[in-house]
Amino acid sequence: MKRIVSIGECMGELSETGVPGTLSMGFAGDTLNTAWYLRRMLPGDWTVDYVTAVGTDGLSNRLVEYLDSERIGTRHIQRLSDKTIGLYYIELKNGERSFTYWRSDSAAKRLAGDVETLEQALAGASIAYWSGITLAILAQADRQTLIDALMRFAARGGKVIFDPNLRPRLWESADAMREWITRAAGIADLCLPSHEDEASWFGDRDAEATAKRYRQAGAKRVAVKNGPGEISLLDADGQLAIVPVQPAAIVVDTTAAGDSFNAGFMAAELAGGTMAQAASAGAALAGRVIGARGALVPQAIEV
């Protein structure tokens, strides 16, 4: 069946409008960004479902309505009456963005609390996409529940695609982050790390070392992003390939560079492309996304 599920947390985003005393409201999150780009790039016979948990309050309703309006499937979103979605506020200070978060009690932290619900969400999908942020926000027991469900999904022939998206501040410790991320990558058909983060937290000396480490952890294939640097690929046979990236002439905002790359990569593979073609397509999309403000850039998508 032509169905992708993206699993993670989407938050409300509050940002200054420039008019004193008013804020503008949007929705964002790494796995949502990827789902949004996938939805716009994949043909209409594909279903893109978002899997998360939200509340039953007005703000949660607005998020679900937003996803519906973007044609992202909401059937598998759990509604928890005692919770609401996380929020963050973006402040611009001298051109630098700083963030304030209210997410410690968000509904999404419970997205893997119920095995049956997870199984239903995954049933019949061909690809499950998730990230290290999805993993970080969960309680320890729920992390294992989700990994186990994805392992069963993979055993049935589903493909698990994982972006480690290392965010040490979301984890109880750097050691816990390294351990869980390595475990999660081990069940992936495709792992999509960013070398700069990986070098900081795993000490990889170059992108090839990042790719090899994840393959050793069990990921079948790895594509390592490296900002404006080339993409390093390890295929299912362990063959290394390098794909050049055209460095952007102007970088306006790198938000969602990695998320859009991942979507461009997946869409190109689903259209029959090779790993190298998929990496080029991902880099081309991400290169356009960073040329405009914000995470979701409609004009970055070629039609």
Q: Residues 35, 77: contact at Cβ < 8 Å?
A: no
Q: Is 105 a catalytic residue?
A: no
Percentage helix, strand, coil for the chain under 3-state DSSP, each rounded to 5: 40, 25, 35
Tokens in use for 74?
């909401």
Contacts of 188 (CB under 8 A, 6+ apart): 160, 161, 162, 214, 218, 219, 220
Please say whether the beta carbons of 37 and 263 come within 8 A: yes
| Binders of ligand AMP in range 209-228 (CB under 6 A) | 225-228
Active-site position among 163, 197, 204, 259: 259
Least Cβ distance, residue 296 to ligand AMP (angstroms): 15
Note whether 287 binds ligand AMP by CB under 6 A. yes
Cβ nearer to ligand AMP, comparing 122 with 290:
290
262 makes contact with ligand AMP (CB under 6 A): no
**Shortest Å, Cβ 286 to ligand AMP:** 3
Counts for the chain of helices (H) and strands (E), in that order: 10, 14
Residue 4: beta bridge partners? 48, 127
Positions in 232-261 near ligand AMP (CB under 6 A): 245, 247-248, 251, 254, 257-258, 261
Please give the Cα distance from 66 to 239 (Å, whole number): 42
Stretch 188-207 residues interacting with ligand AMP (CB under 6 A): 194
Binders of ligand AMP: how many residues, by CB under 6 A?
Answer: 18
Residues in touch with ligand AMP (CB under 6 A): 194, 225-228, 231, 245, 247-248, 251, 254, 257-258, 261, 283, 286-287, 290
Which residues are marked as active site?
A: 259
